[in-house]
Structure 1
Amino acid sequence: MNQVLISAAGLGIASLLGSAIGLLIKKISHRLNDIFLGFCAGMMLAASIVCLIMPAIEMVSPIQWWQIIAGVAAGVGLICTLDYVTPHLHHLTGIDPEIHHSNKASINRILLFVLAIAIHKLPEGMATGIVFEGGNEQNALAVSLSIALQNIPEGMVVVTPLLMIGVGYFRTTFVAFIVAGIEVAGVYLGYVLGGLSEVLLPFMLSMAGGAMLYVISDEMIPETHAHGFQKSATCALVIGVMAMLAIRAVTE
């Protein structure tokens, strides 16, 4: 339980660190933003397969493979549903010049932005908590480290759009704390759900992996390829994959 606490705190602090940097920088260029997100997508891609789905496969017999398929499908379905009922991040960020925003953001718009961010943060936290319950400390450490590293640039991406559409520093800081808290809550939620039944653990690991795969494919990669810097973003994605694999090799 102490390791879960440390991991949850680490993820939250990493997210807040990125937000703090974003508050200082105020604006990130499209090129740098796409490189950051590409690297994050690569790390998450490797983590979802190597640290979540593959360990789940090792837990089941061939006749129980339905758990893996059902788990991945459930993760994709869950995030797809959330994504359908909440606005896409790029509709609220204000980064694209063709999208008009007023100088003052309403409270409802801020809440919608936080809800959209939760699509990314909640499954990330749950993935970490579920892996801890699985008893494989190496996988848990690798997942935690990869998510913590990508939380820093992601935290920057959270606050800079809010500043650009006119949200004040106090409200932006408040949003940053909420986003970090969502992921921390996700860690504990994943840990508790994973502890309900060892029989369901492969399904839950697969579900977390499927959720991460959906976020990578539907949100992160398209966003990094929308501004003319797709080659840089692709190189960053490959580097992210290799970095995650290196982390996994070191922690074994």
Structure 2
Amino acid sequence: MDHDLLMIFGVAAAAALASPLGGLAAIVTRPSSLVLSIAVGFAAGVLMGTFAFEMMPKSLELASVPLIVAGFLIGLGAVYGLDLYVNRWHMAGNAADEKPAVDRLHKRRRPRGSGVSVLAGGTSAEEVIEGITIGIGAAFEPKTAVIVALAICIDNFSEGMSIGELSLSETQKNAKWRIIGWTSLIGLAVFVAALAGWYFLSGLSETVIGILFAAGTGGMFYLTITDLVPEAEAHHFQQSAAIANAAGFLLMMTLSRMT
């Protein structure tokens, strides 16, 4: 088998397996809120370190600053649009003045699915962006693909745990099978997208690859800031989420310099 194909197959498989493994961990251990805050906070820090020290610098090596900014905003805007669609075009934070009005609207028109299905379905769609980002990274530098895949592995494991915990807390029938099914779908999405990204995009020019890589960064940045950071902070004890976040950030800074 071709060495490059073997490499992308391996990193994509690792990222794919992380999600169902996280779901299984939730089934077996039923993680406490403290464990969730540390796991999700660490994942958020890992992703932020990957953006800062690996993904954006590599994008800027391939294309100009205006093009990278445009690519980043396109990726961020695409995931933001998906978030709006899932939530019926209305969202508000728990402390927002607009929260009561949004809640009334959602009582009339519920978000597209239950809490678990909204989270898992949205995550599956977002995994396509993350998978393509792995494939694009492999198209121009294997080291970048490995670091990005490592970050996504950690992210997917923590998301699998979150989906498992939420599904178990909803006490729905066949919760364990729902956890396995949703997390496996998430894993399949990232695996297929990574292989597709590598196969179909590896022949593009460096400028286009840089823009696409920045777009993937923008989408993943949105998910980190809107999903992972708030969830980790909501479960924290003695700011365990912030400490774990810092640990993940410093880990990726160190790895990016060592490699």
- 1:140 paired residue among 141, 145, 153: 145
Q: 8 Å contact 1:194–1:204 — kept in the other structure?
A: no
Identical positions, percent: 21
Distance in 1, Cα, partners of 2:119 & 2:218: 23
What's 1:86 paired with?
86
Change (3 A) 1:228 1:13: closer
1:211 paired with 2:215, answer no
Q: Is the Cα–Cα contact under 8 Å of residues 131 and 140 in structure 1 kept in the other structure?
A: yes
Name stretches of at least 5 consecutive residues in structure 2 with no aligned partner.
Answer: 92-111
Contact in 1 for aligned 2:59/2:68 (Cα 8 Å):
yes
The answer to whether the aligner puts 1:223 opposite 2:223 as a matched pair is no
Q: Distance in 1 between matches of 2:197 and 2:79?
A: 15
> What is the identity, as a one-letter code, of the residue corresponding to 2:65?
W
> SS of the counterpart of 2:234?
coil
Match of 1:30 in 2: 33
User: What 5-or-longer segments of structure 1 have no aligned partner?
Assistant: 92-106
1:87–1:31 distance in 2 versus 1, CA, 3 Å: farther
Corresponding residue number in structure 1 for 2:6: 2
Q: Is the 8 A contact 1:37 1:233 kept in 2?
A: yes
Amino acid at match of 1:155: G
CA deviations on 1:156-205 (whole Å, 9 max, x unpaired) are 11222112212412232222211111111221233245325223111011
Deviations 1:44-78, CA, capped at 9 Å, x for gaps: 01112322111110123xxx322101111001101
Contact 1:52/1:127, CA 8 A, preserved across alignment: no
1:18 maps onto 2:22 in alignment: yes
Change (3 A) 1:236 1:173: same
Superposition TM-score, scaled by structure 1 size: 0.82
Aligned mates of 2:253, 2:53 — CA distance in 1:
8
The residue type paired with residue 131 of structure 1 is G
Q: 1:212 to 1:6 in 2, by over 3 A?
A: same
Identify which range, 172-181 or 35-44, moves more after superposition.
172-181
Q: Would the alpha carbon gap of residues 228 and 141 (structure 1) be closer, same or farther in structure 2, given more than 3 Å must change?
A: closer
CA–CA distance in 1 between the matches of 2:23 and 2:230? 23
Moved more, 113-122 or 165-174: 113-122
Q: Helix, strand or coil for the counterpart of 1:225? A: helix
In the alignment, does 2:45 pair up with 1:42?
A: yes
In the alignment, structure 1 residue 173 sits paired with structure 2 residue 180: yes
Change (3 A) 1:230 1:190: farther
Decide which of 242, 246, 250 is 1:238's aligned counterpart. 246
* Aligned counterparts of 1:130 and 1:85: Cα–Cα separation in 2: 27
**Aligned 8 A contact 2:53 2:252 in 1:** no
CA root-mean-square deviation:
2.4
1:142 deviation in Å? 1.2
Counterpart of 2:190 (choices 183, 186, 197) is 183
C-alpha distance in 1, partners of 2:74/2:21?
A: 32
Residue of structure 2 in register with 1:154 after alignment: 159
2:256 corresponds to 1:248: yes
For residues 137 and 173 of structure 2, what CA distance do their matches in structure 1 show? 37
CA distance in 2, matches of 1:51, 1:242: 13
Q: Secondary structure at the match of 1:197?
A: coil
CA distance, structure 2, for counterparts of residue 172 and residue 233 of structure 1: 24
Q: Distance in 1 between matches of 2:233 and 2:178?
A: 30
Evaluate the alpha carbon distance shift between residue 42 and residue 129 of structure 1 in structure 2; reply closer, same or farther with a 3 A threshold.
same
Aligned pairs, number = 230
Matches of 1:226 and 1:24, distance apart in 2? 23
Bigger shift: residues 29-38 or 117-126: 117-126
2:191 maps to amino acid: V
TM-score in terms of structure 2 length: 0.80
